[in-house]
Each structure stands twice: as C-alpha cells, then as structure tokens.
Chain A
Amino acid sequence: MTQQTAILKKPSGAAQKQGAPASVGAARFFTIAGRAIMWIFLLVVGALTLFPILMTIVGSLMTNSELMSGGNILPKTWQFHNYADAWQQSNFARYTWNSLFISIVSMVGTLLVAAAAAYVVDRRSFPGKSLYVGLQASTMFISMGAIVLRPQFDLMVAVGLNSSLWGVILILMSAHASTFFILLGFFKSIPRELDEAAMIDGSGFIRSFYRIILPLLAPGLGVSGLFAFRHAWNEYILPLVFTMTDPKLQTLTVGLANLRYGSSAAMQTNLMMAGACLSILPMLIVYALANKSFMQATAGSVKG
C-alpha cells in the first residue's frame, strides 16, 4: 500500500518541480488581479454605503427647486441658511433639545439601574438570584412587538406621565437587560479584594458601590453608555406614541418623519435633509471619536 502511493506520488512531484517558475509568475498575476478585484468590490460597496449620507449632506445645502429639478450634483451656491431655517422655522431646536433630554437621562438611568443590579448579582448570593438573571435574559428574547406599548402607555396614563418625556425615559430604562449583562462581564475583571478591603476599613456595601466600584467600572460604563445613548437617540416608535397629543415633545426622529406629511403646500425637501443631518451628525461625531469602542462592544457580543 505505502509503496504504491509512494510510486504514484513521484511523477506528480516531478511535474510540480518542472512547472515551478511558470506557476510562480501565474500566482503573482493572480494575487495582483485578485487584490484589484477585491479593492474594486470594497470601493463599490463603500460608495453605496456612503451614498445616502452624502446625498443628505449635499441635499441639505441646496435650494428646494435645485433639489427637485435635479440639475446639478453639487449645489450651485451652498445654502447654509437651510440649517438656520430648519432650526428655527421647522422647530428643530426643540426636537434636538427633546432628543438630548431623553438620551442623556435614560442613558444615566439605565447605567445606574443596571450597574447596581450587576453589583449585587456579582458580589452576593441571595435567594432567587438565578430567577432574576433568567428574567433579565428572557426580556431580551420575547418580542410581541408594538402590542406591549399599549399596557406600557396605560401604566403611564395611570401615573400621569403619558404626556411627558419621562414616560419614554422610564420605558427606555426598563430595557436595561443588555446593559446589565455587559456590565456583569466587566465586574469579573474588578478584583473582589478591592471592595472587601474597603469594607474591612469600614466602608459599607452601598458606599463602596459608588466610591470604589463605579469608578473602576468606568470602561464598561463608557461602552454600554454609548449603546444606551445611541438606542435612545435613534428611537422612533416610542416617542412617536407618547407625543401624538403634544407635538411640543417630539424628538428629532419623530419631528423629521412627520415632515413627510408636510401640511404646507410643498414639501421642503432641502429643510428635511438639513433636519436629517442635524440628527445624524451628533452620532457621526461620536462615532468618529469612539468607533473602536462601538465596534469592540458589538464584536464582544458573539465572542462571549
């Protein structure tokens, strides 16, 4: 058997040796051609990815008639006052403030609620602990869609928060399960000796939470805070439902989407593009500064 295979292998090995110089040249050609095809592919997909964003920026700097007639690709004169118009006439100043308010408050709230819970779960054992963790995990997977918004809304009516942004904030905070699990992972890297030592020195359990744990948890809070902020800032359906009766409370997403129904004679597409830019730009700036954190945290969700 072994002899046979050895014999069979011989000629092919010889052929390889003979063809060696030609195949090296061919291989080089194929790597260069392959690389070129790869770059063309990457650049085409990249261009398609950037296209809507670039269109938004360009469109926000055109006049409305320029945008409608489609005469040119770049604006003839850059209409920076579109932003001022959107900011004042189309109420984007108010929308921006509302978006900032719910995003910042719900981010801080989510972080505190989740960090406190993760602290107890990681450092202590208590009856019903696995039940609690299971409950948190299950809230991430059961999805009945918008239907749960109705009882949530009714609860907010009952406590008088239905026409305020606090209702939106509380509902956003209630979805803190993913933050909880991210922070739980970060707790594993904080040595128990640190808070135990502090407790021996007389610091209580709760006191060491905010004196020792929270500062050490900063990287975890930063990453999950980024996600909580993005979630709240981009949320559409929740604020839409809560601001139906009170347009003054609309966020950027809701205010912008409602402009589609344009009550005035013609839809002012250029102002809508300017509004879209106003709501996209803060996220893009945060992303430009922290894209590594965004990507690491996203990637971490399948690694763990």
Chain B
Amino acid sequence: MTRWTRLWENSLLLFPSIALTLALGIYPLLWVLRYMFYDYPGYGQEMFVGLDNFRRLLRDSAFWASVRNTFVFAGGKLLITIPLSLILAVMLNGKLRGRHFMRAVFFMPTVISTAVISVVFYLIFNSYNGMVNQLLMKLGLLGGPFEWLGPDHAMMTVVIAAAWGAVGNYMLLFIAGLQSIPQDLYESASIDGAGPAQRFWRITVPMLGPVMQIIIMLAIIASFKGYESIMVMTEGGPIGRTDVMYLYLYKLLFPLATSGTPADQQFGYGSAVGFATALIVGAITLLYYWLSRKMNKVY
C-alpha cells in the first residue's frame, strides 16, 4: 500500500467531517470575532467601528438586566435540580423494589422536546383558564387565579419548567457516579459501626466528589445556556422580567421570530453580545472549577 493510497483513503473518510466542522463550526466563530468590530444591520454597507459595540454593551442596561436575570434563572434552576436529583439518585441507587421503573419515570422528561413541553406549560400555567389554577382552586389551595406568568412570578414559573426537564438527567448521572463507589467501603464501614447518615457523609459524599464536580459543571453550563423554554413560555416578558442573555442575543438577530421589528436586527452589536455572553459563561465555569477544586481530591 503506497503512501498516496493511505492519504487518499484518510482524506476521503475524514473530508465530510472536516468540511462540515470548518464551514458550520469554525467559520461562524471567526465571523463573530470579525463582526463584533463592525456596524452591520444585515443589509447594505458594513462599517468598521472599532470598540464601539463594546462601549455600547457596557451602557446597555437591557443587556445587564438580562445578565442579572440569567443568574437568577440559572441559580434557581441549580438550587432545585442538584439537591433533588442527588436525593433521587441516592434513593434509587439501593436495592429498592421498583427502582428501574421509577428511574425510567424520572428520566422521561429528557426525551421530550423542550419547545413542545414549554407550549404545554404555557397553556397549563395560564392564569385565567390554565389547568394548574383550575386544579388548585378546586382543591381549595388557591382562593383566586394565581398569575403564574405575570411579572412577579414568571421567573419562578420558567425555573420550575426548566427544572422539570433537567432533574432526571442529573439523577441518572449521579446514579452512575454512585455505582462507581466500591461496595466494600460501605460494608467495612458498617462493620465498624457507621450508621446510614455517617456512611452518606463520610463515604458517599467524598467518594462522589470528582464525579459530582463534573456533573455540577455540566449543570451550570446548561442552565446558563438554556433559553428555549423561556422563549416559548414568555419571550423574555412580561416587561423583560425573564429576559436571559442568550434570549436577548437571539432577539437582536432574529427579531421577526419573536415580536420585534426588522429595525431591531443588529449583527455587529449581536456579535459583541454573543462574544460577551460566551466570555461570561466561560468565566463562571472556570471560577466554579477553581472553587470546587477540593472536590476532586478523594481522601
């Protein structure tokens, strides 16, 4: 076999992957890195403006409001998702009867489209004729209609919807982590007289550390990036209360797909916002990784 045949075979098999990755994965990144220095509304002349887009970004109160909302959204989602999925994982890791069925139930939301189930949430959380209010009022838990998607509670509702779709996934990852802990550790601890609580805090938690560090990192990235459910349920409203970074960015690019006008379309500024959001998420991830470095040390 000559060198040329080898080269030809390698290139033929790798070509589709490389071409797709370069054209649709790498080129768009370079495009963003270029246009964040330009003023470009998507038609007509593009104009080099230097750092103007970033100056505007610093003064853009709507963007910083969306950053704040992203932290509230991501924080709320993580506060529900991580403890709940860990509790479920510990419960369903043992020899409980019916554990396989229960795991399958909890994991089910992850196979369902976020957009579709968000439409369902949008309908059932409707304050006037939504099924949630009807049910709660019938049970006597609510006196009158509760404004789930009103300005004061919309954030809570989108967090609930996002957590609903995520818990099962992290539960499963935690179970995988729990199963990698050697069983004889628990056995010898029991012989030494350690109770269930002690076994949990002295064995499970430290041994799970390295896996937990990765799982929480995945969860952080996912909660900062997710905006599909918000887009469907509230479009960032009412009055911008649920506008998160990536949704704000989306509206700069495709105003017509939400309730904007073509005049809102700004690719240059959008690129700067996209770059800034990627930086913010990257910085959070690194900060977390540094703060959680102790989790990686198994005693």
Contact = CB atoms under 8 A, between A and B. Distances in A.
Interface of A: 38, 41-42, 45-46, 48-50, 52-53, 55-56, 59, 67-70, 73, 112-114, 116-117, 119-120, 124, 126, 132, 135-136, 139, 142-152, 155, 170-171, 173-177, 180, 204-206, 209, 230, 233-234, 236-237, 240-241, 244, 252-254, 256-257, 259-260, 269, 272-273, 276, 279-280, 283-284, 286-287, 291, 294-295, 298-303
B72 to A, nearest CB: 18
B37 to A, nearest CB: 14
Given A116-B17, A301-B173, A236 B113 contact: yes
B253 A46 contact: no
B172 A280 contact: no
A241 B20 contact: no
A125 B201 CA distance: 47
28 contacts: A49-B168, A56-B120, A59-B124, A70-B134, A120-B14, A143-B281, A144-B277, A145-B249, A145-B274, A147-B249, A147-B270, A147-B271, A148-B28, A149-B253, A174-B24, A237-B250, A240-B257, A241-B257, A253-B113, A254-B115, A256-B116, A256-B119, A259-B119, A260-B122, A279-B116, A280-B116, A283-B113, A287-B111
A169 B172 CA distance: 30
Contacts of B198: none
B175 interface: yes
Interface centre among B111, B124, B168 (most CB of A within 10 A): B111
A114 B21 CA distance: 11
* Nearest 7 CB-CB pairings of A with B: A147-B274, A70-B134, A236-B115, A174-B24, A299-B176, A234-B113, A148-B28
Contacts of A252: 113, 116
B261 interface: no
Given A145-B250, A152-B28, A302-B176, 14 more contacts: A48-B164, A113-B20, A119-B13, A126-B6, A145-B227, A147-B270, A148-B29, A150-B253, A155-B24, A206-B13, A236-B232, A237-B231, A291-B104, A298-B173
B204 interface: no
A174 B21 contact: yes
A136 B20 CA distance: 11
B109 interface: yes
B278 interface: yes
A181 to B, nearest CB: 12
Contacts of B28: 144, 147-152
A272 B120 CA distance: 8
Interface of B: 5-7, 9-10, 12-14, 16-18, 20-21, 23-29, 31-32, 84, 87-88, 91-92, 96, 102-124, 129, 131, 134-135, 138, 164, 167-169, 172-173, 175-177, 180, 211, 214-215, 221, 225, 227-228, 231-232, 245-246, 249-250, 253-254, 256-257, 267, 270-271, 273-275, 277-278, 281
A59 B116 contact: no
A142 B278 contact: yes
Contacts of A295: 103-104, 107, 172
Contacts of B27: 151, 155
Nearest to A27: B195
Contacts of B116: 234, 252-253, 256-257, 276, 279-280
Contact of B9 (A55, A68, A205): A205
B50 to A, nearest CB: 19
A175 B20 CA distance: 8
A170 B20 contact: yes
B105 A49 contact: yes
A294 B249 contact: no
Nearest to B94: A38
B120 A55 contact: yes
Contacts of B122: 260
B228 A236 contact: yes
Interface centre among B7, B123, B124, B175 (most CB of A within 10 A): B123
Contacts of B274: 144-148
A112 B32 CA distance: 29
A29 B145 CA distance: 43
Contact of B29 (A55, A142, A260): A142
